[in-house]
Amino acid sequence: MKKVALMSFGCAKNLVDSEVMLGYLDRAGYTLISSPEEADILILNTCGFIEPAKEEARNALIEATNLKRKNKEKIAVAVGCYVERYKDSLVEKYPEIDVWLGVKDFDKIVQVIEGKPFNKSKNCFLYDHTSPRLIQTPPVWTYVKISEGCSHECSFCAIPLIKGPYRSRPISSILQEVEELSLRGVKEINLISQDTTFFGRDQGLEDGLSHLLRQLLKVKKIDWIRILYGYPEEISDSLLEIMQEEKICSYLDIPFQHSNPQILKKMKRGMDMRRALKFIQKIRKKLPDATLRTSLVVGFPGEGKREFTDLKKFVHEAKFNHLGVFTYSKEDGTACSSLGDPVKESVKRKRKEKIMEIQMEISQKNNKKYLNKHIDVLIEGTLKENSNILIGRGKFQAPEVDGKILMETNGKLSEVVNTIQMVEITGWDVYDLYGKLSQ
């Protein structure tokens, strides 16, 4: 059977779609490999969210074009968000790419590459528990996508244009998937969505995420449940209450985006610094061990020195455990694209560096508090460059975006990988912790 390589770009939600496509390809008998050069069929699952992601997609298309020129028998397929947004111009610019597919028909990937007819979907693809899926993360943890699309109207965001309105999966489907994952040895599930806290609203559920979590708590072999991508105004008292359950990580990923009222108004976001700080205080009162991550945007149109000073003050006072910063890029078709992109790129970069500099100091202090403590750590495997060093995460560290915990194996490699172990923290730096397995 022909060899297929699939390269997945962008967010964790894209990764889940890639895993589902791999599942369909595997079911159809294709040989799955990691080398684009050796593949008979190369599939690129692209991201088109912001300019750096689009640049990465363009580079991947150029590389695929070069591989096609070397081997005209190779089939090159481009799918995903970037294709959904710009297909017409891409077809013209990259004629060597054989097949273009947006975000609506990932489940038809086999028919697509075999040139067979299929009924095109009207909505963005959303998998369910019956979809085949080849997990690409370490076997001890995975992502579970609970919805697709977004119904918020943030002025800077292209996701609703690409993915359409919010659509929740049925709770029964999610529950069945998680039960099956638990039987395969998964210990941690990370719930993902454009907005996990909006879950169920499209189905008339007022507190859908809390209801989903109550059901997931019943899955015995799942030890950690983590919520990613929450919208500040959607985080309810009932959600904070259920997050006190031992299985649910006291971890909230809340993209505040900015703190200045004028900037937030242009962004069509509601929670300014005063409200946000009060809200953060409320979370930490209800969840004393809460870990908070946020994402911020610098260089938004109208962000001058005063607005940026507000943002710096917010980061200082909020003391987030983890923080990411994006530089603003004007996105075609969004409500704020008419505002242009007046802040210089050099200024944006400096502002990003300044925010990260503030956060580094906060992160160091946060990490220092773990010294000499014994904590539960999910052991994912070993470092690629040193198989004697175990790598893992605590409940306060989300996969792929936060720091890690590094430990010496002490000859216990096979016993501890893909399990949760008690670890004594013996050292720390800005992002990572160091420890040893407790005796």
Nearest to 203 by CA among 173, 159, 160, 247: 173
Burial state string for 252-286 with b = 16 or more CB within 10 A and e = fewer than 16: bbbbbbbbbbbbbebbebebbbebbbebbeebeee
Alpha helices in 369-422 (DSSP H): 413-416
pLDDT of residue 411 exceeding 80, the answer is no
Share of the chain above pLDDT 70, in %: 100
The pLDDT, as a whole number, for residue 408 is: 85
Token reading at 134:
């080849």
The pLDDT, as a whole number, for residue 52 is: 86
Domains and CATH numbers, the chain: 3-114 (3.40.50.12160), 141-368 (3.80.30.20), 374-437 (2.40.50.140)
pLDDT of residue 9 exceeding 80, the answer is yes
- Note the pTM of the prediction, 2 decimals: 0.94
How many CA atoms, within 13 angstroms, populate the side-chain half-sphere of residue 417?
18
> Contact 108/43 with Cβ under 8 angstroms?
no
The pLDDT, as a whole number, for residue 376 is: 96
Pairing of strands 224-227, 188-192: parallel
Q: What is the tens place of the pLDDT at every residue in 270-281? A: 889 999 999 999
pLDDT of residue 410 exceeding 80, the answer is no
Q: What is the tens place of the pLDDT at every residue in 263-306? A: 999 999 988 999 999 999 999 999 999 999 999 999 999 999 99
What is the rounded CA–CA span in Å between residue 56 and residue 408? 36
What is the rounded CA–CA span in Å between residue 286 and residue 232? 15
Pairing of strands 99-101, 75-80: parallel
The pLDDT, as a whole number, for residue 144 is: 98
Bridge partner list, 99: 77
Token reading at 308:
């940026």
> Contact 359/320 with Cβ under 8 angstroms?
yes
Nearest to 190 by CA among 22, 20, 395: 395
